[in-house]
Structure 1
Amino acid sequence: MPDPVKAGRRRTAAPSKGDLREQQILDVLEDLLAVKSFDSLTTSDIAERAGLSRASTYFYFSSKQEALVALFARTVESLREKSRAAAGDPAAPRDAIATAMTRTRDRWHEHGLIMRVAIDQASTIPELGTLWTETADVFIDAITTILVRADVASHEGPDGARALAGALCWMIERTFYHASAVSPEALDQASETCRVVWLRTAGLEP
């Protein structure tokens, strides 16, 4: 399995032919997951859709599990960037919360399927769980920062800002997970509900 951090790290140099081929394989995997379950998917399916031989596909990824880790790393890197942006957002807490929820909702609209598959597979592919936990930690940091700016106490304990941020983060994750599997409209509604919960936790009126 690849190093999750390395897999999710953005390259600064122009992509090589090999880099482009690797990204093509990940794009194909994402497309296939829209029509086939991960458990029933094979490396041959990926190779055929990508127009490659199995041997060529194995040159880039030793298994479909390794490819899924790389695809998930690519997906959550954007979530991490948006969470870091939320932590540094100079807007009033109410507006910062709205922006953070909109950005998170949009990412789930775009890649909700991949995130659900990765969450489902995390029990058997530990690298996925590590990536998701690390991404959640970045989001928790952002939520904590916004709560403190809204005058929520930052002390240790179950009612401190970070404890509340952790609960909010995982509430949002579970809510988005289920809603994104229903419909885009359900995800929009879930996002609004989570925004209201976050506002009330921050002591702000919706």
Structure 2
Amino acid sequence: MPDPVKAGRRRSGAPSKGDLREQKILEVLGDLLAVKSFDALTTNDIAERAGLSRASMYFYFSSKQEALVALFAKTVEALREKSRAAADDPAAPRDAIATALRRTRDHWREHGLIMRVTIDQASTIPEIGALWTETAEIFIEAITAILVRAGVASHDGPDGAPALARAVCWMIERTFYHASAISPEALDQAAETCRVVWLRAAGIEP
């Protein structure tokens, strides 16, 4: 099975010929997902579009599922970095919330299709589920930190910062998931709605 850590690992130095081919495969996969469902897609489709033989394709990825894990790992790494930045944001909670949601909205605007397709496969590809859960936990930690700075008590009860942060995180995920399939304007509205909910959870007037 594919290793999510290996899939998302950054390499140092100039990319090798193999690195460039791997990158091309992932780019092609992203392009194909815009015109063909993942279930209907074959490794041969990916290989042909990438200008490789099927055998060469298998040198880089043993299956379309493994390629999708690698593409998702690459996509969510930027989201993880944004979440870590939100946790360390020294701005006032109101401003930190606005910044975090703006960055999240921009990510879904750019990568919404890949995010939706991959999340839909999480139940059948365990590595994707693990990657998404790990990414969500980073965002939950950031939301928790901002709620605590806003004065929300950090206890384990249903109204404590950790529990509220978990609910807010998954509310944001589902809201952006659906809005990204509609339009950029829908994403803007989704971001504003999530901002209001997050502020109210923090005890801050919108």
TM-score, normalising length: structure 1: 0.98
1:187: Cα distance to partner? 1.1
Asked if the contact 1:148/1:161 (under 8 Å) is kept, the reply is yes
Aligned to 2:196: 196
178-187 vs 142-151, which moves further:
178-187
One-letter amino acid of the structure 2 residue matched with residue 113 of structure 1? L
1:60: Cα distance to partner? 0.2
Aligned to 1:156: 156
Asked if the contact 1:4/1:69 (under 8 Å) is kept, the reply is yes
Q: State percent identity of aligned pairs.
A: 85
Aligned to 2:95: 95
Alpha-carbon displacement from aligned partner over 1:59-91 (angstroms, at most 9, x marks no partner): 000000000000000000000000000000011
Matches within 5 A, 1:2-151: 2-151=2-151
1:16: Cα distance to partner? 1.2
Asked if the contact 1:9/1:77 (under 8 Å) is kept, the reply is no
How many residues in Structure 1 have an aligned counterpart in Structure 2? 206
1:11: Cα distance to partner? 2.0
Distance in 2 of aligned mates of 1:32 and 1:10? 24
* Structure 1 stretches of at least 4 aligned residues deviating more than 3 Å after TM superposition: none
Matches within 5 A, 1:163-202: 163-202=163-202
One-letter amino acid of the structure 2 residue matched with residue 103 of structure 1? R
What secondary structure is seen at the aligned counterpart in 2 of 1:94? helix
Distance in 2 of aligned mates of 1:149 and 1:179? 29
RMSD, aligned α-carbons: 0.8
Asked if the contact 1:97/1:195 (under 8 Å) is kept, the reply is yes
Distance in 2 of aligned mates of 1:69 and 1:133? 14
Q: Which runs of 5+ in 2 are unaligned?
A: none
One-letter amino acid of the structure 2 residue matched with residue 21 of structure 1? R
